[in-house]
Amino acid sequence: MVLVNSKQAAHAAASSVAALQAKNPMDSVDSQVKSVVAASEGLVWNEATAEAFETIREVITYELAKYDLCEYAEDVYQDTYLAAFHTPSRVGPSQGELGAWFRGIARYVARMCVRRVLRNDALVLSLDAEQDLDVEQQDLDVEQYQQLEHILRALSLAVGHHVAFERALVLAFRHDGDTGAAAEFLGIPRRTVQWSQQMVRKFGVVIARALTVRAAREEYGKAHEPVTVGELLWCLPQEVDAAGYVQLLGQVGSVKKVSKADVMAVTGLSRPEAGRYVSEVVRMLSIARSVVETGTLAIAEKEA
């Protein structure tokens, strides 16, 4: 369960709400080095194999240099060797050029290394910045960081899709909203990054609006009064047809009784889309009610 200070967090929540391929200069080597494979023993380490394997170094350097992480080059080199020679796999170099196969593995290993190292990049940058501040400013910065961390924690639990949330963080903090660059960095389609961004934004809107309602209720001494349907529907993002949902509620009587068929009839969505819609809206309304009523996001980690 995450506690949220509505007056302090409402403003903060509202306001915070595939890779270029390495050139292969060793094509002349590849033209001479074909797959050297023993049917029963896998790869054979000989002069030709060693020469082909060495072509991975430029790929590794290229991938790591984009993020100033060349100090990890030797680790990636060793991990590539282990992946190529000591990891059981159905995919082998039996078709095509051996050097190209090695480089493909190296590129993948390098990108995984980058993702691992930069996973907490925002935290590292924050801590580095603090070293240049005086003690008083450091205390203020730490407090602000803790507030931001608290808000992000609440948002992560609200979204309930940790992978999508991590993608959105990479997009926001690492690539300043550039979906193309984030997609390249993560090695996923751009539309997947966009979907993740939209998912997180929608739940961010719900929390921000619910905090606004909560703050207003506290200000006017109405914090303990029953939450109205109108207040909850106001918390929904623009992607949700609030008027249509009111129509549904009028027909069926309660949120729990809204079915896929009802949503399909009103929105024209397909059955799978209607199922996702119902699940998402119910989750949003539950989050909104929790925050408006108590200032608390009552979602356990195991539920998220």
DSSP secondary structure letters along 177-227: T-HHHHHHHHTS-HHHHHHHHHHHHHHHHHHHHHHHHHHHHHHTT-TTSPP
Residue 120 is predicted with a pLDDT of 54
Q: What percent of the chain has pLDDT over 90?
A: 7
CB 288 within 8 A of CB 236: yes
The domains of the chain are located at 27-117, 136-297
pLDDT digits (tens, 9 = 90+) for 121-170: 554 454 454 444 444 444 444 555 555 566 677 777 778 888 888 888 88
Note the pTM of the prediction, 2 decimals: 0.50
pLDDT digits (tens, 9 = 90+) for 78-122: 888 887 876 544 445 554 578 888 888 898 888 888 877 776 555
Residue 81 is encoded by which pair of tokens? 């060797």
**Strands of the chain, DSSP E:** 2-3, 37-38, 42-43, 296-297
Residue 148 is encoded by which pair of tokens? 């931001």
pLDDT digits (tens, 9 = 90+) for 245-270: 777 777 776 667 777 887 887 777 78
3-class secondary-structure state, position 43: strand
